[in-house]
A and B are shown apart, each in its own frame.
Chain A
Amino acid sequence: MTLVSAPTEAVPISVLRTIKLPRLAKRHPLVFASGGFVLLLILLALAAPLYAGDPLNVDPFKRLQPPTSEFWFGCDNLGRDVFARTVFGAQISLMVGLISTATAALAGLLIGIISGYNRRLDNIIMRIMDGLMSIPTILLAIALVSLTRGGVGILIVAITIPQIPSVARLVRSVVLSVRERPYVEAALCGGARLPKVLWRHILPSTIPPLMVQSANVCASAILVEAGLSFLGAGVSPEIPSWGNMISSSRIYLATAPLTVFAPGICLALTILAVNLLGDGLRDLFDPRSKRRG
């Protein structure tokens, strides 16, 4: 996971307001393509019930059946439709990824802003964050899942917690640099209240780096979810998820390769797209990093 450096110049978020699609496609093809791919994935996952079969239907006669016109990716060891399971698996992967990213981003934003503005709390909060950062995600997840009854909710909590510190640190660094800007002083000079200054003059500057970091967080959240499901600490085995699909089919890799490759390739493509989106957004918000690269 790469930490995004705080931009030294405030990046006008107004960029976002004025984005026009054709121009975006021309100037930032990477953002356009990867963003488009991620959107497509989300739509496909949401619309799964409309076009895919039943992912839970077990049919022993179709065990490890190769692809047919009815079962595009063939069937797995229990005769379940691999295509349907892959598509429904995307629901779990993306849901866990997006919800934990949103939670981590919001929590990190809040903690980062408080920490960046209050020097006394800063010390305490940042030491707690250091502590959180040292917890390995997988271990925390296994511990939480074995202490509770498991489930998607616990999985999301387990994935979110270790991601919060990186976001909080990033936001804090932006707040620390922006709070010294003359326009913040000018706003205070104009008699504005601190909360208002934070909201209007400091928060907007944290959004672009936060978006970039969120893309990174999202990619790693999806990967961690797959890893946990693969290990059996994620969602329960009958629910299709890319991680437990790979896990349950891996011994049939030689006879029915698609049962492993379909979810595997989907996972790889998704993470690639989300990471590229993050990189693209970084270039979009910080033109200097593109020139350097």
Chain B
Amino acid sequence: MQSRNAGGDDVLLDVLDLETHFYGEDGVVPALGGISFQIRSGETLGVVGESGCGKSVTALSILRLLPKLSAKTVGGEIRFRGRDLLKLSEPEMRLIRGDRIAMIFQEPMTSLNPVHTVGDQIAEAVQIHTKASRSEAMARAQEMLRLVRIADPERRVNNYPYEMSGGMRQRVMIAMALACTPELLIADEPTTALDVTIQAQILRLILELKQRMGTAVMLITHDLGVVAETCQRAVVMYAGRIVEQATVRDLFARPTHPYTQGLMRSAPDPRRGRQRRLPEIPGIVPSLREPIAGCSFAPRCPYAISICHEKTPSLRDVGPDHAAACWRSEEVVGA
């Protein structure tokens, strides 16, 4: 059905029909309605979508760090180097977290503990997964700070987070995440909380370190520009499902799902000069509380026909390494 040329490729993470539900007071919310994607070793995969479409839930599901009482992964597989993470015990999972899969968060201001020095916190991450002594771990912390280009790491290692700016703190977070040279780095909107000039620096840093360490990156963002610049492949999510996945080149050249097209149209394009008003996608994201019949994008879709309101489309190949979940993708491409 969908593009899954797992054959010769070195598949690092293989997510299959992942379903995660949230349990609220007013019923079950299917936050992830069965998503499948792959990340190959060393590649950068962009995960795009608007707020609440399930990007972060996907990340937390992979690391099995969903809030215990209110959310649960109810179906699917998460194969990491062939092992299903969902079947591992908690101690086995702890060995993977931080060591082989690391994560950086959106909020550098609050992701560091204010009561410990940054060196302490990086060293802690190192010591959890290696037998390094305290002084070896601190040396590694210093080395990592230098690697993320913090000036004067000998002194900065003893800084408390409040003594650093947002950009520096995000660098520290990156240092912490990469301290154990993980195979996969999940970056959950790593630049959203930073100002634009710093954003570019941080992204460049992540890419450079990724290249040097051979780490694959899953970059969660809602910024298509970031995806275009940094990723090899991208996944577009809408209402807890993947609506399109393709190589970045293909995605921008031939967006095949009406939602992706809408997203691209609503991004400002400096080449077109001043625009009067950016086109927007009419309507709002559907509430996941009520069951959705048919395609979840149908109510907002200019191409919707009767089948769209009745049956949910699944991802279908529309080209090499390019799949879209749309009943009318053939017609949509040309539009």
Are B97 and A188 neighbours in the complex by a CB distance under 8 Å?
yes
Contacts of B128 in A (CB 8 A): 190-192, 196
State which residues 177-231 of A face B: CB under 8 Å. 181-183, 185-193, 196, 200-201, 204-205
Contact B102 A190 (CB under 8 A): yes
Q: A119-B69, A191-B94, A191-B99 are in contact. Are A12 and B114 (CB under 8 A)?
A: yes
Across the interface, do A190 and B97 meet the contact criterion of CB distance under 8 Å? yes
Closest to B115 in A: A204
Residues of A within 8 Å of B165, CB to CB, are none
A44 to chain B, nearest CB (A): 35
A189–B61 CA distance with the chains assembled, in angstroms: 12
- Tell me the smallest distance from the CB of A191 to a CB of chain B, in Å: 4
Which chain B residues border A204 with CB–CB below 8 Å? 113, 115-116
The answer, yes or no, to whether A14 is at the interface (CB within 8 Å) is yes
Q: Are B112 and A183 in contact (CB under 8 A)?
A: yes
Complex contact B160–A189 (CB within 8 A):
no
Q: Which residue of A lies closest to B91 (CB)?
A: A193
The yes or no answer to B176 lying at the interface (CB within 8 A) is yes
- Give the distance in Å from the alpha carbon of A271 to the alpha carbon of B102 in the complex: 52
Chain A residues lying within 8 Å of B162, measured Cβ to Cβ, are: 12
Contact at B97–A12, with CB atoms within 8 Å? no
Q: With A12-B162, A191-B94, A191-B95 in contact, is A186–B173 under 8 Å at CB? A: yes
- A interface footprint on B67-107 (CB within 8 Å = 1, 0 otherwise): 00100000000000000000000000011111100110101
Q: A189-B63, A190-B102, A191-B128 are in contact. Are A12 and B111 (CB under 8 A)?
A: no
Chain B hits for A190, CB < 8 A = 97-98, 102, 124-125, 128, 176-177
How many contacts A-B (CB < 8 Å)? Answer: 73
Given A189-B103, A191-B128, A12 contacting B115 (CB threshold 8 A): yes
Q: Is B307 an interface residue (CB 8 A)?
A: no
Specify which chain B residues have a CB less than 8 angstroms from the CB of A10 in the assembled complex. 113-115
Looking at A183, A190, A192, A193, the one whose CB has the most chain B CB atoms below 10 A away is A190
Main secondary structure of the interface of A (DSSP, over half): helix
C-alpha gap A204/B99 in the complex (Å) = 26
Distance of A119 Cα from B67 Cα, bound (Å): 12
Q: Are B176 and A185 in contact (CB under 8 A)?
A: no
Partner among A11, A189, A196 whose Cβ is within 8 Å of the Cβ of B65: A189
| Chain A proximity of B107: nearest CB distance (Å) | 5
Per the bound structure, the CA–CA distance linking A200 and B127 in Å amounts to: 14
| Chain A residue with the shortest CB-CB distance to B112 | A183
Whole-angstrom distance between the alpha carbons of A193 and B105 in the complex? 19
B111 and A182: CB pair below 8 A? yes
Residues of chain B within 8 A of A181, CB atoms compared: 110, 113
Q: How far is the CA of A191 from the CA of B99 in the complex (A)?
A: 7
B300 at the interface (CB under 8 A from A): no
Task: Using A12-B160, A119-B69, A182-B110 as known contacts, say yes or no to A189 and B115 having CB atoms under 8 A apart.
Answer: no
Interface centre among A186, A188, A200 (most CB of B within 10 A): A186
Q: Are B113 and A183 in contact (CB under 8 A)?
A: yes
Q: Does B316 contact A (CB under 8 A)?
A: no
Q: Which residues of A contact B65 (CB under 8 A)?
A: 185, 188-189
Bound: A201/B124 CA distance, A: 11
Please indicate the chain B residues that have their CB under 8 angstroms from the CB of A186 in the complex: 103, 105, 111-112, 173, 176
| A204 to B117 Cα, complex, angstroms | 13
Question: In the complex, A200 Cα to B95 Cα: how many Å?
Answer: 19
Interface presence of B129 (CB below 8 A): yes
B:135-179 near A, CB below 8 Å: 160, 162, 173, 176-177
> What residues of B have a CB within 8 angstroms of the CB of A12 in the complex?
114-115, 160, 162
With a cutoff of 8 Å between Cβ atoms, the chain A residues found around residue B94 in the complex are 191-193
* Chain B residue, CB-CB nearest to A183: B113
Chain A minimum-CB-distance residue to B126:
A190
* A192 in complex: contacting residue of B96, B107, B124, CB < 8 Å: B124
Q: What chain B residues lie within 8 Å of A200 (beta carbons)? A: 113, 116, 124
Interface readout for A98-112 with B: 1 if CB under 8 Å, 0 if not?
000000000000000
Q: A77-118 CB contact bits vs B (8 Å, 1 = yes)? A: 000000000000000000000000000000000000000000
CB distance from B113 to the nearest CB of A (A): 4
Query: Among residues 1 to 58 in chain A, which have CB atoms less than 8 Å away from a CB atom of chain B?
Result: 10-14
Q: How far is the CA of A17 from the CA of B126 in the complex (A)?
A: 25
State in angstroms the CA–CA spacing of A205 and B112 once bound together. Answer: 13
Judge whether B160 and A14 touch: CB under 8 Å.
yes
- Residues in B with CB closer than 8 Å to A183 are 110-114
Cβ of A285 to closest chain B Cβ, rounded Å? 12
- Residue-by-residue, is B239-278 near A (CB-CB < 8 Å gives 1, otherwise 0)? 0000000000000000000000000000000000000000
Chain A residue at minimal CB-CB distance from B68: A119
Bound: A187/B115 CA distance, A: 14
Q: Are B98 and A201 in contact (CB under 8 A)?
A: no
Considering the chains assembled together, what is the distance between the CA atoms of A10 and B63 in angstroms? 26
Residues in B with CB closer than 8 Å to A13 are: 115
- A residues in contact with B173, CB < 8 Å: 186
10 examples of A-B residue contacts, CB within 8 angstroms: A14-B160, A185-B105, A187-B113, A188-B65, A190-B97, A190-B176, A191-B97, A191-B128, A192-B124, A204-B116
Known interface pairs A13-B115, A183-B110; 14 further A-B residue pairs with C-beta atoms within 8 A, sorted by A's residue number: A10-B115, A185-B105, A186-B111, A186-B112, A186-B173, A187-B113, A188-B97, A189-B65, A189-B98, A189-B103, A192-B98, A201-B113, A204-B115, A205-B115
Interface residues, chain B, with chain A CB atoms under 8 Å away? 63, 65, 69, 94-99, 102-103, 105, 107, 110-116, 124-125, 128-129, 160, 162, 173, 176-177
Using CB atoms and an 8 Å cutoff, list the residues of chain A in contact with chain B.
10-14, 119, 181-183, 185-193, 196, 200-201, 204-205
